[in-house]
Each structure stands twice: as structure tokens, then as C-alpha cells.
Chains A and B, each alone.
Chain A
Amino acid sequence: MSIFEYNGSAVVAMVGKNCFAIASDRRLGVQLQTIATDFQRIFKIHDHLFIGLSGLATDVQTLYQRLVFRHKLYQLREERDMKPDTFASLVSAILYEKRFGPYLCQPVIAGLGEDNKPFICTMDSIGAKELAKDFVVSGTASESLYGACEAMYKPDMEAEELFETISQALLSSVDRDCLSGWGGHVYVVTPNEVKERILKGRMD
């Protein structure tokens, strides 16, 4: 069994009209045993920038702490928040730094850039960026997420419809994956508002 599947995870991000949504499951497991059902995989970097980290939970926590640290240094030096594409390059560089002993997680980065243009991107564990203009997925449920997103996604959705779509895509995908699930955590980000919602799904 792959080390990426040790804790189980599902992370997805979608682009809407001047908005984006990022969602994850809430399970923390050790292989088939569930430890907790309120684990956090999506983190806020600033009001318009979020990162979801799938994969090994310990590296999710370590990597998140390093990223917060680097972003704080950036804020002090530049007196502004980081742009999403800059942040993606930072994550990529931090991951590639550990090319031969990587952090075992696959990040999903979602943010609103200049003129509220949504930006989403995913990466492998050694920082190879993969940009997309519709949706990105990662985690143990990524295969089923691809299918669900492919079927449900429409371009230029408004925030509410985007929330509905990403939630349905997430919930239907994790039901086909033993290692992820136990509800979901969804953030919908528009230029003036961040909406955070907890989903209940099949809680078994």
C-alpha cells in the first residue's frame, strides 16, 4: 500500500465566475482504522488564498507550518499578501527542495488573483505544477473525483451553484473510496466573502 494512502484523503477545487471553491473530506485514518472525523486538510493562507493538502497527515501538518512561516516572512518583507501563482511557485520550490526525500503530500492551491481572477493548481509531491481552468483533484478518492467533476462541472457558475456542485462531487466520490469520507469541509470564496461549510455525508 502506498504511503500516500496511509491516512486517506480527498481534496478538490473548482473555479466559478469570479469565485472558487475548495473542499476536502474530514477523515483521519491509519490505513483502515479511523482515528478522527474532524481532521483539517484545507488551510487559509489569506482571505483569497487557500491550500488543500492530501496525502500523509504528518507531512500535511509539517508542510502547512512551513508555508505559513514563509508567507509571514513574505508579508513582512513585501507588506502585502502573496498572489496565488507566486504562492504556487513557492510551494513547488519547497517541495522540490526535498526532491530525494519528499513531503508525501499532493497540494491543491486555489486563490483569487488580480481582478478577482480565480486560480487553481495542483502538484505532485515533488512540486511539478499542473494548472487547470476548471477543476483539480487529489487524494485517495482522486479517481472517483475526476469522474464526478467531469460529469457535474459547468463553466462560470455563481458561488451558490458552485458550492452545490463541489459538495455533490465530493460526497459522491468519497462514497466510492474506503479511505476517505466522514463528511466534508467546503470553502467558497468570492471577492468579498469566504463561506465555510461543514458537510454531513455517509458517516460510516
Chain B
Amino acid sequence: MECVFGLVGNGFAIVAADTSAVHSILVHKNNEDKIMVLDSHKLVAASGEPGDRVQFTEYVQKNVSLYQFRNGIPLTTSAAANFTRGELATALRKNPYSVNILMAGYDKEAGASLYYIDYIATLHKVDKGAFGYGSYFSLSTMDRHYRSDMTVEEAIELVDKCILEIRSRLVIAPPNFIIKIVDKNGARVHATRQSVQDVTTAAV
């Protein structure tokens, strides 16, 4: 089942998510990217109801870009996170979105940051965070090995530890993961961890 987690290192933030699209007992695909590049220096890793996830993250992305277009300056990560929380909180008592979000970003002033926003719109700035069944393993793995001054290599090693822990201890572990990073050079895909390839044609 869904595993989304992330951490902040020295001058960068990393988020990782599984890439499975699952409905009840069926796996529809193994390359669903659940981490959106919000703008040049922001990442949004989302889990939850698939429709809500796509709809809501796109809504946030377009509004953040509208703000930048109108005002000529981008929103800070903190501002984008607070906007997202506001939208979730308003929706909460009307027609709630079931999306949990980890928002990572890099700002000139504040440096790298990671925000935890759950579907009931609890916002909190964290060093490390996780959602879904994977959180039971990735949170404790990160509690044990995380340091705030980690280099990218060390952080990736930790992300791999988390993935390994999920793969070995979670019954319904997803096979593939995507890892994205944001630092002063922008937000981008860092790596993927695949143990199953997408089947294109049925075996004869």
C-alpha cells in the first residue's frame, strides 16, 4: 500500500514515493508518479484517493503558478504550504479531499524545508515525515539514522534503508519507488528503485 516519505538534509530535501496504482486487489500500473514538481523549487508528494490526489495537486500547482505570474515573485515553500493547508481546511467541512501531502522546497532565505500536511489540514514543518502504511517502517528507520547535516549520498542511503525495510517487513509492499530531490539547483527526479518492470504485452 501507499508509501510516501521525505527528509531534509544539508541544503536539500528529498522525497520518495511508491509508484503503484492499486485498486483493491488489482495493481493497475507500476509507474505512477505521485511526486509532482510544483514549480522550479518545490515538490509535492501526495498520497490518498487517486482522483483527489491528481485534482488537488494540480489545483495547487496552477494557483501557485498563477500567483507567480501575477506578482512576478514565486511563493516561498512556507507560503505554498500554508496556501495548501488553507484550501484543504476550507474543503474539510464541505467536500473534503482525501490527500496527504509532503511538500518539500528550497528557498534562498529559509533553505531547504519539508512540510507535513495531512488530509484534515494539519500543517507542520518537519525534518522527516511519512504517510501511509510505509510510515510505520520509514519513520522508525529515519528516527534511528537521520541527522540534520546529512549529505545527498547519506540521505539516499537512508532512503534506500527505508525502502529496504518496507520491502522486507510490509506484506503489501509496493515494488517500485521514485526519489526526487530539491536543492538550490531546483527540483528534479533523482533516481528510481525498481524491482518490477511494467508489463507491456501479456506473456504468450
Contacts and interface: CB of A to CB of B under 8 A. Distances in A.
Contacts of A61: 85, 89, 121-123
A30 B123 contact: no
A7 B121 CA distance: 12
Contact of B126 (A35, A62, A101): A35
Q: Is the interface of A mostly helix, strand, loop or mixed?
A: mixed
Nearest to B93: A101
Residue of B122, B135, B136 with highest tally of chain A CB at under 10 A: B122
Given A33-B139, A35-B129, A36-B116, A57 B122 contact: yes
A35 B120 contact: no
Interface of A: 7, 28, 30, 33, 35-36, 39, 56-58, 61-62, 101
Query: Which of A33, A35, A101 has the largest count of B CB atoms less than 10 A from its CB?
Result: A35
Contacts of B92: 58
Contact of A58 (B121, B135, B136, B139): B121
B126 A36 contact: yes
Nearest to B128: A36
Given A58-B89, A58-B92, A62-B89, A35 B121 contact: no
Nearest to B143: A34
B118 interface: yes
B89 A35 contact: no
A36 B124 contact: yes
Contacts of B129: 35
A56 B121 CA distance: 10
